[in-house]
């Protein structure tokens, strides 16, 4: 089963991807991770990334194809496809069973983002729906949990304002 997951920053995409991944034993396919992984093995891609050049649609689809070949259950596509061309290319190499779009109002997004806390040590992320078991302490490493500057309401509003 292959699912495309869409949603803006603060929509809870990461959390939903994690849940879907666990429930259906899917691989979470983020193109960023895929590229970083490819750069460790592929000289051409490493060079392009080092020079700040974009990877072409053809290169990306080849990486996805290779990744899917090693997965039997399917994948959650996160942050891909972004264009119609990419969507068509993806449709040619695999079957897409569903597209999930997470929609929420600006107010909800702001509330979610401003409830986000990050572990200083291992960078684990906590929020309203997945609070740490012990307040202020990371479940994974017992590190200190804090609110990043850019997750503070003022910073988020400023960011949103600069976009409109």
Q: Which residues bind Zn ion (CB under 5 A)?
A: 119, 121-122, 124, 138, 140-141, 143
In angstroms, what is the minimal distance from the CB of 124 to Zn ion? 5
Residue number with the shortest CB distance to Zn ion? 138
Q: Residue 1 or residue 124: which is nearer to Zn ion going by CB?
A: 124
Compute the least distance from the CB of residue 126 to Zn ion, in Å: 9
Of 71 and 144, nearer to Zn ion (C-beta) is 144
CA-based R_g, the chain, Å:
18
Smallest gap from Cβ 116 to Zn ion, in A, equals 14
Q: Which is nearer to Zn ion, 27 or 124 (CB)?
A: 124
* Rounded Cα distance, 145 and 63, in Å: 35
Q: How many CB atoms lie within 10 A of CB 10?
A: 22
Nearer Cβ to Zn ion (97/144): 144
Residue 133 C-beta: closest distance to Zn ion, Å:
12
Closest by CA position to 17, among listed 159, 119, 130, 140: 130
Given a contact cutoff of 8 angstroms between Cβ atoms, the answer to whether 126 and 147 are in contact is no
């Amino acid at each position: 089963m292959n699912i495309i997951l869409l949603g803006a920053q603060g929509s809870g995409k990461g959390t939903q991807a994690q849940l879907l991944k666990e429930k259906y034993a899917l691989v979470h396919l983020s193109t960023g991770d895929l590229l970083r992984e490819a750069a460790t093995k592929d000289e051409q891609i490493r060079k392009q990334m080092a020079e700040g050049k974009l990877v072409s649609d053809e290169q990306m689809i080849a990486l996805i194809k290779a990744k899917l070949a090693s997965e039997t259950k399917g994948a959650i596509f996160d942050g891909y496809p972004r264009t119609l061309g990419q969507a068509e290319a993806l449709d040619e190499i695999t079957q897409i069973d569903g597209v999930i779009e997470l929609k929420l109002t600006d107010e909800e997004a702001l509330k979610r983002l401003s409830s986000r806390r990050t572990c200083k040590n291992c960078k684990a992320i906590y929020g309203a729906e997945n609070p740490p078991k012990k307040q202020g302490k990371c479940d994974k490493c017992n590190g200190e949990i804090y609110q990043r500057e850019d997750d503070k309401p003022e910073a988020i509003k400023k960011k949103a304002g600069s976009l409109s």
